[in-house]
């Protein structure tokens, strides 16, 4: 062999050995690693397109809280800089139209209030003093006003009145709640007679003006919208979403209204649609209002269409006919001819452009990219992107979707230490002749010749989906790091696969979905690296329901974790969102008892044998805590090995860092107990 060839071969071998050593030096992720990840979001591009302001959240496990601050990075690259920080939380950055100032929310003086600083973060000054704090806010195009939401007592005529009433309630020794209508509580808190109202205030401060007086919420609190109000381009009026139906607990009929910034009676502009109209955005030329819309009242998982309201004609039309995906976000291009949208698509999120003449063109696909903002000249996009191996980072791209580039590497040093396997897509034949899609995440140092225990993670919703994105409450890497082949399947009912696929689950909670999941487990086992005698299943919300359903219909799993899951479909009627129950089960329990009984896990309790961990929070008003307590009592009564993890200070989600640590420790410990005899993680 020639000397040059020998030298080249030696270098090649050395490179391979170096890569092998690097791979061996990486370690599985721990909970402390998960908490050490800096959480990025809310990327806001400056009007001139030169910079992106964004929020970084740092978790302090010892203090049991997160701290947020505002950072900025150039769209041409360079080192990010911390722009706004304090000893409290600073978040929601919003540029003024001229780019000379940056508004943000801060808790530095108590409840969140609007502050304004220079574009370099200097000289922050307080604008609002809302007693209950500011929820969301936007800056008017002319820079002279802010619109913001805050909670008020609807019979109070001023924020001073709200402050006095709130102080009295806080000091009162009586904490009883009296209600005369439903939705007196929601998700994890009681409303105490308060409503969310929309105000405007001068950007110099002063007395805010309530534009939406009365006993209604503005914006409506159902469906978890992006900001549901917007200024007209000339700053003369505001469009907002509100639900005025008398029976709010059974209605998703949100409508759009317009009102002058000077106040007065609001005009309803979408009254002909019985479903939800929300997320309004004025076109830059002022001719149109784009918005998201659902057609059917009471169905929170109807397809969100992109609609266009012609202000002069007073008519609306759909722009996404033939686009069988939900529109999740929208932002106008400055030409008023195109609208940038974000939509889930087969386990990921795409960015597309919709024309006002109809039709959608994807420009960034096959990634989990969202939170799109656009420079004033329409040339540059900013957004965040993540995957199951990368926490969210800030990206920029041309308006065509080209030249997509990562602007931040906030967590790169930490990730370089961790052995994280990417999500692998797979498909198989499911129920109803459908192709079912899912992801598998394999353990660190995976060896296909070995047999691994497997955990099936089941998503909630039920109209939801597992995405190839980074998360903190059900992060697949945490299971994989423990030595489990982690499987995430998007069965019938999942979003991002077409509306017909999503709708199949309504009235069929335990049918095709169960079949899909069992076939998916079979498919993964057939690949040869899973031990079929060491299978676990875990799910939250609807995923918890399905875990309960599985328990009554198969013994193939050796351990189950059910978090905030429905156990008794009839007692679940204590939820505050009756529209959900009545749509999914085709009426109230007394109107359709057969369907409630058909799909209720509690009626199959005679079959329960699988060791089960039950997790629930006292403040969960979405799936009331009684569901978890009933299940645990039943398991104990039947002598099934079981454990209850109960949180008196958490709701539907476990959010506090130390509570989250206990959650992962208990959940993974339970699975280890039943799936890893003698502590084994894999066997030949």
pLDDT at 24 (0 to 100): 64
Whole-angstrom CA distances from 419 to 27, 466, 669 are: 5, 21, 21
Beta strands (DSSP E) in 13-144 are 39-45, 51-60, 65-74, 81-84, 90-95, 101-106, 113-118, 125-126, 137-139
d(CA 248, CA 257): 18
Q: With CA atoms as reference, report the closest residue to 311 among 270, 275, 272.
A: 270
Evaluate the CA torsion angle 296, 298, 303, 305 in order and state its sign: positive
What residue spans define the domains of the chain?
41-126, 321-418, 420-676
pLDDT at 187 (0 to 100): 84
pLDDT at 11 (0 to 100): 45
Q: With CA atoms as reference, report the closest residue to 490 among 524, 509, 517.
A: 517
- The packing angle between helices 542-551 and 512-525, to 10°, is 80
Please spell the DSSP secondary structure of 523-551, one letter per residue.
HHHTTS-EEEEEEEEEEETHHHHHHHHHH
Q: Is 483 left (phi over 0), alpha (psi -120 to 50) or beta?
A: left
d(CA 230, CA 323): 25
Q: Check if 321-418 and 420-676 are the same fold.
A: no
How do residues 591-642 score in pLDDT, each as one tens digit?
999 999 999 999 999 999 999 999 999 999 999 999 999 999 999 999 999 9
Looking at CATH, the fold of the domain delimited by 321-418 is given as Neuraminidase (2.120.10)
pLDDT at 224 (0 to 100): 59
pLDDT at 527 (0 to 100): 98
What residues of the chain score a pLDDT lower than 50?
Answer: 1, 3, 5, 7-8, 10-19, 683-684
- What is the gyration radius of the CA atoms in the chain, in angstroms? 26
How do residues 6-20 score in pLDDT, each as one tens digit?
544 544 444 444 445
pTM of the model: 0.94
CATH number of the structural domain 420-676? 3.40.50.1820
């Amino acid at each position: 062999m020639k000397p040059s060839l020998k030298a080249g071969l030696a270098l090649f071998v050395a490179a391979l050995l170096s890569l092998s050593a690097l791979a061996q030096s990486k370690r599985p992720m721990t909970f402390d690693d998960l908490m050490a990840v800096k959480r990025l979001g809310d990327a806001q591009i400056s009007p001139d397109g030169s910079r992106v302001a964004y929020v970084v959240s740092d978790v302090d496990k010892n203090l049991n809280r997160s701290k947020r601050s505002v950072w900025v990075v150039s769209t041409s690259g360079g080192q990010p800089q911390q722009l706004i920080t304090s000893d409290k939380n600073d978040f929601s950055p919003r540029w003024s139209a001229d780019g000379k100032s940056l508004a943000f929310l801060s808790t530095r003086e108590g409840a969140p209030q609007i502050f304004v600083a220079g574009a370099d973060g200097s000289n922050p000054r307080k604008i609002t003093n809302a007693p209950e704090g500011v929820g969301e806010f936007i800056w008017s195009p002319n820079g002279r006003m802010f619109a913001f939401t805050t909670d008020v007592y609807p019979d109070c005529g001023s924020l001073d009145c709200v402050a006095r009433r709130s102080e009295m309630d806080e000091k009162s020794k009586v904490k009883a709640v009296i209600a005369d209508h439903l939705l007196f509580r929601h998700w994890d808190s009681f409303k105490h007679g308060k409503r969310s109202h929309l105000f405007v205030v001068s950007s110099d401060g002063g007395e805010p003006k309530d534009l939406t007086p009365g006993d209604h919420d503005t914006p409506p609190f159902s469906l978890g919208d992006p900001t549901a109000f917007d200024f007209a381009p000339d700053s003369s009026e505001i469009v907002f979403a509100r639900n005025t139906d008398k029976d709010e607990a059974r209605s998703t009929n949100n409508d759009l209204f317009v009102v002058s910034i000077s106040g007065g009676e609001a005009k309803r502009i979408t009254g002909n649609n019985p479903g939800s109209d929300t997320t309004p955005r004025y076109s830059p030329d002022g001719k149109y209002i784009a918005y998201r819309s659902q057609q059917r009242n009471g169905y929170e998982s109807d397809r969100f269409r992109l609609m266009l309201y012609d202000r002069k004609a007073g008519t609306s039309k759909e722009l996404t006919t033939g686009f069988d995906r939900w529109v999740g976000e929208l932002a106008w291009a400055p030409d008023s001819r195109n609208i940038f949208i974000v939509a889930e698509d087969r386990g990921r999120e795409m960015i597309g452009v919709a024309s006002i003449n109809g039709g959608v063109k994807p420009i960034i696909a096959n990634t989990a990219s969202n939170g799109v903002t656009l420079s004033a000249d329409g040339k540059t996009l900013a957004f965040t992107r993540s995957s199951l191996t990368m926490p969210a980072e800030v990206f920029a791209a041309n308006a065509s979707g080209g030249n997509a580039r990562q602007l931040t590497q906030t967590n790169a040093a930490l990730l370089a230490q961790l052995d994280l396997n990417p999500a692998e897509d797979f498909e198989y034949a499911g129920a109803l002749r459908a192709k079912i899609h899912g992801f598998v995440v394999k353990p660190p140092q995976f060896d296909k010749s070995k047999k691994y225990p497997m955990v099936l993670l089941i998503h909630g919703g039920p109209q939801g989906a597992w995405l190839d994105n980074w998360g903190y409450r059900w992060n697949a890497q945490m299971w994989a790091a423990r030595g489990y082949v982690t499987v995430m399947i998007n069965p019938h009912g999942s979003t991002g696969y077409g509306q017909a696929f999503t709708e199949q689950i309504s009235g069929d909670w335990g049918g095709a979905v169960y079949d899909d999941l069992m076939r998916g487990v079979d498919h993964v086992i057939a690949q040869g690296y899973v031990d079929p005698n060491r299978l676990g299943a875990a799910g939250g919300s609807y995923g918890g329901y399905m875990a309960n359903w599985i328990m009554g219909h198969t013994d193939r799993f050796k351990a189950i974790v059910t978090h905030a899951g429905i156990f008794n479909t009839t007692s679940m009627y204590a939820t505050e969102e009756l529209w959900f129950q009545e749509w999914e089960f085709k009426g109230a329990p007394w109107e359709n008892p057969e369907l409630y009984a058909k799909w209720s896990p509690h009626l199959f309790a005679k079959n329960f044998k699988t060791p089960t961990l039950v997790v629930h929070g006292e403040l969960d008003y979405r799936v009331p805590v009684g569901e978890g307590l009933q299940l645990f009592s039943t398991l104990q009564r039947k002598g099934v090995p079981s454990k209850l993890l109960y949180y008196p200070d958490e709701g539907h989600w476990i959010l506090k860092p130390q509570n989250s640590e206990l959650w992962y420790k208990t959940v993974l410990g339970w699975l280890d107990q039943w799936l890893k005899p003698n502590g084994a993680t894999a066997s030949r």
